Amino acid sequence: MSALRYESFTVQGAAGTADERAAEFVRAIDYGFLDAPRGAELEIKQLDRFRAENTLLTAVYDDAQPAGAVHAARPVATFGDYVGSVGVADGVTLPAQMVTEVTVRGTHRRRGILSTMMRGALARAKAAGVPLSLLTASEGGIYGRYGYGCAAYSTEVTIQVRDGLGLRPAVSETLKAAQLSVFMPSWEAFPALYEDAYAAFQLATPGQTGHTHAYRSRAAGDSNAWAIKGGERDVRPLVVTGPDGAVRGYALSSFAGFDVQPTRLKVVDLGAADQLAELALWEALAATDLVEELVWREAPDDFALGWALVNQRDVVRGRRADHLWVRVLDVVEAFNARGLSADGAVVLEVEDRLDLIAGEFTLSRDAGETLCAPGVSGAGADAPRLRLDAEALGSLYLGTVSVSELVRYGRAHAEAAELAGLNALFAPGRAPRNSYTF
């Protein structure tokens, strides 16, 4: 078995220029994700995405491949990470390591490549003081061993709008009283409006990751912001503002074409600071002439539009998929930012096979103020104990799963008499949601 060479680097050169080493990295990820080679022009667009996020690229090379193999400059494995952000509580975001572009060529599996890349990246982020690591996963059974827990889900919904949205009269009156305005912005104005709308949306949405160069490019009118061959898509923007003129939400949709029946708009991105602003966007989308259905693949678990309608069956739920995985790297900083949901205290006993956060931590909340500290402090002397591993903690962090559910399946351990109180401590204000892929 040949020795492997690991290299980490950032894309060199000014925006719009080539970098052959990084271009080979892009060709490797195209192969790994079963995408068609995107060609030189789109490769440079992808390089500009990496430049904009200051993504650290880690490539693995096999210099001893047999004659006839793809030349050794093409990585056999890829890994990228950069520092972004994520909402963790109402009005609170934290910096987070964003893991992306993870591939290992099928010919080089079972050689510890992913473990080497992952362990190195997590150790580097922890040393830099980044409290969380996040990823979205193509496969669901891989990342738990590295301490990532599934933390947010998305569901595809189809909304029947042949006769409009069908709001209940009382809901229509509530929406009218809110004095919201929905309008179609110009592409010149939309980038700034999108920035403001997205900031308000992320602050109100635990689990929502920060936008990236690609999302900003799409807001500026780029029809193929992800630089994927055949990925062109024209979108239609909408913005909602409050009576004070402040931007409170946005939506982007794409018409599926008249060859698709029933005729539909695909909602490709939608975010709002509150439910009424979101409802105003749905009402405007549903009023689009010639459209019979709205389809959204990224509805959160607590998507509640049906309760606003005369006929709840107008909202049909489809496939549900995970859309965010969380790995805690600093228990103290993460929970001091997230806070507990009720007054009380608990001692966490965290097990971690990577030994990044193993130990005991006291979490307490008094008069609405949360304090997390290492060890067993005064507040933890008589507090209930909760024992779990890093993966389970990642799922518990945003309240995606209850303590009772973790205990029921043996993924955490606590006294039965303490479960109701522990559930209250970690209960989310709303279901975690992440609509962005990175």
Query: Tokens at residue 317, please?
Result: 């739920």
Higher-confidence residue of 68 and 436: namely 436
Residues 146-154, mean pLDDT to the nearest whole number: 97
How much is the average pLDDT of 220-246?
91
What b/e sequence results for 50-77 when a residue is b if at least 16 CB atoms lie within 10 Å of its CB, and e otherwise?
A: bbbbebbbbbbbbeebeeeebeeebbbb
Residue of higher predicted confidence among 231 and 237: 237
At 383 the pLDDT is: 96
Beta strands in 221-299 (DSSP E): 236-241, 247-255, 264-272, 293-299
Side by side, the strands of the sheet bearing 344-351 are 369-374, 359-366, 344-351, 385-389, 412-413
Q: Is the pLDDT of residue 434 over 90?
A: yes
What pLDDT is stored for residue 3 in this prediction? Answer: 85
Query: Residues of the chain with pLDDT > 70: what percent?
Result: 100
274 pLDDT exceeds 70? yes
Question: Per-residue confidence at 1, pLDDT binned at 50, 70, 90?
Answer: low
- Bridge partners, 6 (sequence order): 60
What integer pLDDT is reported at residue 2 of this predicted model?
Answer: 67
What pLDDT is stored for residue 233 in this prediction?
A: 82
Residues of the chain within CATH 3.40.630.30 domain(s) are 4-135, 154-321
Query: What is the arithmetic mean of pLDDT over 77-104?
Result: 97
Q: What is the mean pLDDT of residues 251-260?
A: 94
Percent pLDDT > 90 in the chain is 89
Q: pLDDT class for 377, splitting at 50, 70, 90?
A: confident
Report the CATH superfamily, name and number, of domain 331-426. Answer: SCP2 sterol-binding domain (3.30.1050.10)
Residue-wise pLDDT tens digits, 335-355: 999 999 999 999 999 999 999
Looking at residue 379, its pLDDT comes to 85
C-beta atoms surrounding 133 within 10 Å: 26
Compute the average pLDDT of residues 122-135. Answer: 98
N- to C-terminal Cα separation, the chain: 34
Across 219-228, 319-328, 382-391, 412-421, least confident range: 219-228
- Which listed CATH number (3.20.20.60, 3.30.1360.100, 3.40.630.30, 3.30.420.40) goes with 154-321? 3.40.630.30
The topology under which CATH files domain 4-135 is: Aminopeptidase (3.40.630)
* Residue 210 half-sphere exposure toward CB, CA atoms < 13 A: 15
User: Where is pLDDT greater, at 407 or 222?
Assistant: 407
The predicted model scores a pTM of 0.94
Per the model's pLDDT, the better-predicted residue between 72 and 314 turns out to be: 314
Neighbours of 138 (CB within 10 A): 11
What are the structure tokens assigned to 174, written together?
A: 């509530």
pLDDT at 209: 97
Beta-bridge partner residues of 328? 132
Q: What is the mean pLDDT of residues 24-36?
A: 96
pLDDT for position 232: 81
The arithmetic mean of pLDDT across residues 423-432, rounded, is 94
pLDDT computed for residue 327 by the predictor: 98
Residue ranges of the chain assigned to CATH 3.30.1050.10: 331-426
How much is the mean pLDDT over the chain? 95
Dump pLDDT digits (tens) for 8-23: 999 999 999 999 999 9
